[in-house]
Structure 1
Amino acid sequence: MTPQSFLLSPELAEFVRRSADPPDDVVTDLVAETAAMTAAGDGRPTYQVAVEQAALLTLLTRISRARWAVEIGTFTGLSALAIARGLPEDGGLLCLDRDEHWTAVARRYWERAGVADRVELRLGEAAELLDALPLRPTFDLAFVDADKTGYAGYVDALHPRMHPGGLLVLDNTLRAGKVLDPQDDDDRAIASLAASLAADARFDTVLLPVADGLTLLRVR
């Protein structure tokens, strides 16, 4: 199953995919392998970004002229691949994840795509790995797609480590519409975060109805 926006019919989702730059063989094969893994019970399809969302991440990386990026939550590596492809050759992406099994798949596809030299993967608890980073502006772009109850803490930890004008991108901020009627701790955390970010003077903020919701935060 290919991840798609819950707001779109299958036909519209296919139209959206056809209207973006087509995925190459690396992306197509990664999506297929991930789908096979999730069908076998190794994870959920929603752990992986949609193909059109990956294309958007590459575009955002390029137009923001990001050189150094960080990702929290890597899974099988499609979002990291998209960001790495948008970086200049002398740029770099730091990926933080705690699962060696899924990220082993990611490593293979980064190698195949020729971007492995731009990606550093660190395994462990993201909050601890973030806290260990120097407390100074380092990153131009950050992508967060990990445990939803941790998002507020990740934003706070990332802010002093982002350059002014840097871009934070938060995934799954619509929770398939459940932000309007939270069903669990993840839903409640995202709904609460949306309210606080709308009034947060540290960022320019917009929530885009892309895939499962994509919140963009520009560091003021």
Structure 2
Amino acid sequence: MKVAEFTDPAVAEYTIAHTTPPDDLLRALTEETLRLVGDRISMQISAEQGTLLTMLAGFSGVRRAVEVGTFTGYSSICIARGMPADGRLIACDVSEEWTSVARRYWDKAGVSDKIELRLGPAADTLRDMPREEWIDFAFIDADKAGYPVYYEELLVRLRPGGLIAVDNTLQHGRVVDPSAGGAVPAIRDFNDLVAGDSRVTCVLLPFADGLTLIRKN
């Protein structure tokens, strides 16, 4: 079980226990991913984040969505499940290996008809999309240094009132540690960028590894 490292473990476990849990298919995907990647399982979103993504994608008007960073498909299944029958999710990733797992589970989940996989650098994929406000919902969970580019390319294509969710924005609580290295400085800069952007309203939720919700004004 993955809990927020910056929260009292008992409180984190309590919140998980009082959130709708994943079903058998998502549990099976998590178990297979763990066998394949071991310690890198942290690249997969947490179960409670998955539940939230399904709820967010289920809000009225969400029919066109984009995901940056698909990995083995957990988040894309959660998003697609929340969307209506005519909803479409464009999933962006660079790995044929990991997304081959995602494709199998999309089929098992019955959401393959809602998802279009685009392999290649996400920045290029996004720039090739129509430059008009057509996206209702987006999720970013990829290389942290690329977050500002993904954010900007998505924001200009997001309809007013549309939502972007961004994962890993607390970096296990290390985002407040001035001496922290790795991806922390990039995430800190990204968080400052979003918080200071007058085009949006944002909230950083302190659960799992931090999830920022960004609404286009």
**Alpha-carbon separation, structure 2, partners of 1:104 and 1:53:** 22
1:63 counterpart SS class: coil
Equivalent residue for 2:173?
177
Which aligned segments of 4 or more residues in structure 1 are displaced greater than 6 angstroms?
Answer: none
**Alpha-carbon separation, structure 2, partners of 1:64 and 1:11:** 35
Q: Is 1:34 paired with 2:30?
A: no
**Alpha-carbon separation, structure 2, partners of 1:89 and 1:152:** 31
State the shift of 1:184 in Å: 2.6
Taking every aligned residue pair, what percent have the same amino acid on both sides? 46
Choose the corresponding residue for 1:195, options 181, 189, 192: 192
1:36 counterpart SS class: helix
Comparing 59-68 with 162-171, greater Cα deviation is found at 59-68
Choose the corresponding residue for 1:89, options 69, 82, 85: 85
State the shift of 1:16 in Å: 2.5
Comparing 199-208 with 12-21, greater Cα deviation is found at 12-21
Equivalent residue for 1:44?
40
**Residues 3 and 45, structure 1, Cα contact 8 Å, conserved in 2:** no
Equivalent residue for 1:162?
158
Deviations 1:118-151 (A, max 9, x none): 0010100001111111111121000000010111
Deviations 1:94-137 (A, max 9, x none): 00000011111111111101011000101000011111111111
Aligned residues: 216
Q: Is 1:58 paired with 2:54?
A: yes
Cα 1:9–1:101, aligned 2, differ >3 Å: closer, same or farther? farther
**Alpha-carbon separation, structure 1, partners of 2:73 and 2:12:** 22
Deviations 1:2-29 (A, max 9, x none): 4332234554444323212232111110
**Alpha-carbon separation, structure 2, partners of 1:76 and 1:152:** 23
RMSD between superposed Cα atoms in Å:
1.5
Equivalent residue for 1:19?
18
> When the two structures are superposed, what TM-score results if normalisation uses the length of structure 2?
0.94
Deviations 1:55-90 (A, max 9, x none): 011011112531110000010110100000000000
Q: Provide structure 2 residue ranges, at least 5 long, that are not aligned to the other structure.
A: none
**Alpha-carbon separation, structure 1, partners of 2:182 and 2:145:** 7
Equivalent residue for 2:75?
79
Q: Provide structure 1 residue ranges, at least 5 long, that are not aligned to the other structure.
A: none
**Alpha-carbon separation, structure 2, partners of 1:191 and 1:178:** 10
> When the two structures are superposed, what TM-score results if normalisation uses the length of structure 1?
0.93
Q: Which amino acid aligns with 1:195?
A: D
